[in-house]
Structure 1
Amino acid sequence: MKQNGAHASIKVKGRNIDLDEALPSKVQEGLMHVAGSHFGSLNHATVGFGRDGHSYSCTINLQVGTLKMMIAEAVAGDCDQAFDQALGKIGRQLHRRRQRMEDRFKDQASVSATA
């Protein structure tokens, strides 16, 4: 897995809550794994946590390669669950984006091969 810089600019922020020490490292490992498994490089990411009544929200803003910024949000009973759900959404977005790119390249290759 390729990394840009030492830890590819991942910012973790908490709004109206204190984040424990384990959560930022979990966020960093999770984002690097998901981005690396689909595109190999992570340009930058911002992860925000907030508390809304009895639930916690997580918002992930992520950019890989030259793709547009991707955003995923989730609400759950604790910060870890909210992050896991938002990370799953980002993973699905990356997977779909990669599939579309591969399909486009296959279509272009078949068109140029028949021409």
Structure 2
Amino acid sequence: MEVLMEFDGLDNVITVKSANVDLGQALPQHVRESVLRITEKYFGELVAAPVYFSREGPLFRCAVNLQIGSFKMISAGGLGTDCYQAFNVAIEKAAKQLRRKKRAVRDNRARRPSRTTIPFADARP
């Protein structure tokens, strides 16, 4: 019961939709838990996360779009024999993009010189 109460305010942020696919009740909850876990791990500023399921012949396709803070939207897709497998492939691709983006932001901050440092050439003896 507690888990469902956590997601009451997130229905507008993490939307789970489908075209001609019955999602049931457990899949949207699994999607919300996974998206929250991934976004909190790397940035934690989730603005919007639409997740969309559809059929492609005998397979299922999942498209995950994550809008985090002021970054460009991260998009990932996955195919699988069932919805869970397709979602897991897509969320792993999105997580990889988030890891790379966090590493790039962290490395960029480390390269910026501090305002209090004096360049070696201008240092006085």
Greater relative contact order (Cα 8 A, min sep 6): structure 1 or 2?
1
Q: Does 1:61 align with 2:53?
A: no
Shift >2 Å, 4+ stretches: 109-115
Q: Secondary structure at the match of 1:46?
A: strand
The yes-or-no answer on 1:6 pairing with 2:9 is yes
Superposed counterparts of 1:1-115, under 5 Å: 6-7=9-10, 9-109=13-113, 113-115=117-119
Q: SS of the residue aligned with 1:43?
A: strand
Change (3 A) 1:114 1:81: farther
Give structure 1 stretches of 5+ with no counterpart.
Answer: none
Task: Kindly report the root-mean-square deviation, in angstroms, between the aligned alpha carbons of the 2 structures.
Answer: 1.8
The percent identity for this pair of structures is 35
Letter in 2 for 1:52: E
TM-score in terms of structure 2 length: 0.82
Gaps of 5+ in 2: 1-7, 120-125
TM score, norm. by length of structure 1: 0.89
Question: What is the alpha-carbon distance in structure 1 between the residues aligned to residue 96 and residue 18 of structure 2?
Answer: 25
